[in-house]
Amino acid sequence: MAQALAGFRPARRTPAEPVPLARALHRVPAAPVTAPHALPGFARSTVDGYAVRAADTYGVSEGLPGYLQVTGAVLMGAEPAVTVGPGAAVAIPTGGVLPPGADAVVMVEFTQQVMPGTIEVVRPVQNIDHIGLPLESRP
């Protein structure tokens, strides 16, 4: 251990120097790296599933499932073209932009299509990253 730590003596460290991003690979930052703005800049799903209003899933379980109408889908990389209203669900991929009206995402594993356009929900969950999570901007 002492031999390994000897390699980290300050005398052997190179001084900090600015380099273009293309040459920064395998280098260690000399200072914290900051984002100019919050990342992501939108609320997004952390799982494949259905964007819903959380209130529509409160109290659901395998013994007492909830039923929601599927009213559309969010496409990856696109702004949602649909709004989530009461009793509605919108299919959403991992990383998809949360559509207006939704405040939760139910994992696809906790749903089942019971008839075309209707899903059964057996577990309430959140599964979203809010704006700025996991990376917040720093001055």
Tens of pLDDT, residue by residue, the chain (139 residues) = 777 766 666 666 678 899 998 999 998 888 888 878 777 888 999 999 999 999 999 999 999 999 999 999 999 989 999 999 999 999 999 999 999 999 999 999 999 999 999 999 998 777 777 776 656 555 4
pTM summary value: 0.73
Asked if the structure places residue 27 within a domain, the reply is no
Asked if the structure places residue 57 within a domain, the reply is yes
Asked if the structure places residue 24 within a domain, the reply is no
Is residue 40 within 8 Å of residue 131, measured between CB atoms?
yes
**What's the domain count of the chain?**
1
CATH at 76: 2.170.190.11
Take residue 123 and report the two structure tokens written for it. 């577990």
* Nearest alpha-carbon partner for 89 in 42, 54, 46, 129: 54
Alpha-carbon span 18 to 40, nearest angstrom: 27
Asked if the structure places residue 60 within a domain, the reply is yes
Q: In what order do the strands lie in the sheet with 118-121?
A: 104-107, 49-52, 88-92, 66-73, 118-121, 111-115
Asked if the structure places residue 136 within a domain, the reply is no
Structural domain boundaries, residue 106: 44-129
pLDDT score of 35: 78
